Structure 1
Amino acid sequence: MSILVESFFHQQSATFSYLVSCSVTKAAMLIDSPADFNAASGILSFNTANDIIRHIDENKLLLEWVLETHAHADHITAASYIKQQLGTTHPCKLATGSKITQVQQHFSRLYDIDMPCDGSPFEQLFNDNDNFMLGESNVTVIATPGHTPDSVCYLVAGNAFVGDTFFMPDSGTARCDFPGGSAKQLYQSLQRILSLPDQTILWMCHDYQPNGRELANKTTVAQQRKSNIHLQANEQDYIQTRQTRDATLNVPALLHPAIQMNIRAGQLPQAKQNEQRYLTIPLTVLL
C-alpha cells in the first residue's frame, strides 16, 4: 500500500493544505483547503482552491473526502466550494471532528447566526479512533483537543496531518486561548502524537518561518520530541509557558469572518432582502 502526499501553500494565511491519494486506486482526500479573502474589500475568491481542483482533474484523482482538522480562525475554508465544484463527478464528503457541535453552539450565539448546531453541513463527524479507508490504506482519526475542542489529526501510512497542534520544532506549539481551548488538553494531545513511532512524518498546517528560515512543512515524531522549543520541560511548565505566551498574542486578523464561515464548512451566509451577504463583527466598546 502506498500513498502520495502533495502540499499546497496559501501565502495569505501561511497555511498548508494536503492532497493525499492512493497510488493504486487514485482515491484522494483533501485536508484544510483555504479560500482567498480580502478583509478590506470583503471580496471572497477561490484561486487557491481552483488550483487544487485543476490538479485533481489533471491527475485523474477521485476526491472522496474534504477534511478539516478544526474550525480555523485564520483563513476561510474552501470545503463547500470544492464539494460544489466537484460534486457531480466526485463523491466527496465534508468531514471534521465531532466536537464541531460545541464550537457551533458557542459561535452561533456570539455572531447571532440562526443555524442548527448538529454538525451540519458537515456530512461526517469523526470521533476519536474512528477509521475509514482511502483506497487501500486505513486512515485513523485522532482527537487532539486543546487548541480548539474540535481539533483532530488524520493518520495514514505513517503520516500524521496534525492541524494546529504542532508547529515546526523551532516554532513550538499552537495557542490555546480560543473558546474551549486548554493548554492542559493540548499538552496531553501532543504527548499522544509523540507516542507514535519515531519515524512517523508529521505534516504541519502552518509555518511562520521564524528568523527568516526557509519554508518547512514536515518533521518527525523523533525530531519534535528532541527539539520542540515548547516541550523540553514538564507538563506544568508547558502549561505556564503556553498560557503566558497566549496572553501576549493578538487576535488572528481574519478571526471573525473565518469562524463565521468555517463553522458552516465554508457555506455562504444567507443573502438579505437586498441580495447582499454579510459577515458581522461583535463590537466591544472601551470607554
Structure 2
Amino acid sequence: MASPIVHPIFEPVTGTWQYIIADPSTLAAAIIDPVLDFEPARNTVSTATADSLLDIVVQNNYKVGYLLETHTHADHLSASRYLQLKLAQSTNPKTGVGKRIVQVQTTFAQKYGVEQSELEDVFDFLWEDDQTFRIGDLEAKVVHLPGHTPDHVGYLIGDNIFCGDSLFLPDVGSARCDFPGGDAVQLYHSVQTLFSLPPHYKIYTGHDYPSGDRSDPVPYTTVAEQQERNKHLKIGTTQQEFVNWRQERDSGLGEPRLLHQSLQVNIRGGRLPRSGMLVLPLKGTREVGGVRL
C-alpha cells in the first residue's frame, strides 16, 4: 500500500495542528481538523487559516473528498463547513465525525438552547467504530479514542494515526478529561490502543504547545517515542497513577478561551447559528470569506 502524502499545517493562535492527507497516485485528499479563525475581542470570524489550506489544495491539484473531525473541539471553531462550501463546485467533499457526536450535540444543545433543526444532517457521515473508507487508493480506518471527549476518534491511514487530542507530544503529555462525557480511565485505555500499534507508526497530534528548550511545534512522534517519553503516560504508568494525576490537574484548570463559541459552532458542523448570535453577538453579516455559513 502506498504511503500518504501528509501536510501538517500549524495554527499558532490556538496551537492546533491541521492535516491534509493525499493519495500520491490519484491525488484524492482529506482535510483533518481545519480551523476557522475567531477574534474574541471583536467577536468576529475570518478565514485566513482555512484559505491557506485551500492554497495547498490548489497548488497540488488535490481532489478533496473528505473533511474530517476528530471530535467536538472546545478551543477552536471548525472550518469544515466553510471549506465544504468553497469546494462544492469542484469536488463536493463530505464531512465526517464519530457517531457519538450525537451525545455531545444533545448535551450542549440543552446548555446553549440550540434547536434540534440546527443539528440535523450537519455531518454527512457519522462514523462507526472501526469503519473504513477510501481516500483514493488509501484505506482509512476510524478508531474510537474516548476520554478527552466521548465522541473522539482517530484516523489510521497507512502507518500514521491522526489522534486529535488523545495524546500530545511526549513533553506535553495528555489532554484534559473534565469536559462533559470525558473520562480519565477511558483516556488511559485509548492511549493503550495507540501504544498497541507497531513501534514505528507515527502518532500525529491535534495540538502542540512548545515550551522550554523546544520553540517549534512538532506534528508527530512514533509510538515507540511516546511509550518511552510521554510524561503522563509512558510505559509503566499505571491506570490509577494516571487517573489520580489527571483528576487533580483538571480540577485546577480554567475553561478554554473559546469554549462557548467553539462548542456552539462545532456541534452545528462548523455552521454559525441561524440567528447569527453566539454567547456574544457576532458582528456584521453571516457572510464569511464570500461564503454564507
TM-score range, shorter chain: over 0.9
Instruction: Give, in angstroms, the shift of residue 224 of structure 1.
Output: 0.6
CA distance in 2, matches of 1:156, 1:13: 25
CA distance in 1, matches of 2:7, 2:13: 19
CA distance in 1, matches of 2:213, 2:17: 18
Q: Counterpart in 1 of 2:265? A: 261
Q: Counterpart in 1 of 2:223? A: 221
Q: Counterpart in 1 of 2:158? A: 157
CA distance in 2, matches of 1:63, 1:258: 24
Instruction: Give, in angstroms, the shift of residue 204 of structure 1.
Output: 1.1
Preserved CA contact (<8 Å) 2:162 2:203? yes
CA distance in 2, matches of 1:134, 1:85: 20
Instruction: Give, in angstroms, the shift of residue 198 of structure 1.
Output: 0.4
Percent identical among aligned pairs is 38
Pair 117,48 (structure 1): closer, same or farther in 2 beyond 3 Å: closer
What is the aligned length?
276
Preserved CA contact (<8 Å) 2:105 2:267? yes
Instruction: Give, in angstroms, the shift of residue 212 of structure 1.
Output: 4.9
Preserved CA contact (<8 Å) 1:142 1:153? yes
Structure 1 runs of 4+ aligned residues shifted over 2 Å read 115-120
Alignment pair present for 1:278 and 2:241:
no
- CA deviation profile, 1:34-71 (whole Å, cap 9, x unmatched): 01100110110000001111211121100000000001
Q: TM-score, normalised by structure 2?
A: 0.92
The alignment partner of 1:257 has SS state of helix
Preserved CA contact (<8 Å) 2:98 2:126? yes
Q: TM-score, normalised by structure 1?
A: 0.94
The residue correspondences of 1:163-242 to structure 2 (distance < 5 A) are 163-213=164-214, 214-232=216-234, 233-242=237-246
CA distance in 1, matches of 2:120, 2:151: 11
- CA deviation profile, 1:136-174 (whole Å, cap 9, x unmatched): 111110000100000000001100001001000011111
Instruction: Give, in angstroms, the shift of residue 235 of structure 1.
Output: 0.5
Decide which of 233, 250, 254 is 2:254's aligned counterpart. Answer: 250
Preserved CA contact (<8 Å) 2:65 2:94? yes
Preserved CA contact (<8 Å) 1:104 1:117? no
Alignment pair present for 1:3 and 2:1:
no
Preserved CA contact (<8 Å) 1:119 1:125? no
Pair 244,119 (structure 1): closer, same or farther in 2 beyond 3 Å: farther
The alignment partner of 1:50 has SS state of helix
Q: Counterpart in 2 of 1:285? A: none
Instruction: Give, in angstroms, the shift of residue 119 of structure 1.
Output: 6.2
Q: Counterpart in 1 of 2:130? A: 129
Unaligned 5+ runs, structure 2: 281-293
Unaligned 5+ runs, structure 1: 272-276, 282-287
CA distance in 1, matches of 2:119, 2:130: 20
CA distance in 1, matches of 2:221, 2:126: 28
Instruction: Give, in angstroms, the shift of residue 118 of structure 1.
Output: 6.6
- CA deviation profile, 1:105-127 (whole Å, cap 9, x unmatched): 00000000112487630010111
Pair 117,97 (structure 1): closer, same or farther in 2 beyond 3 Å: farther
Q: Which amino acid aligns with 1:251?
A: E
Q: Which amino acid aligns with 2:229?
A: S
Alignment pair present for 1:34 and 2:35:
yes
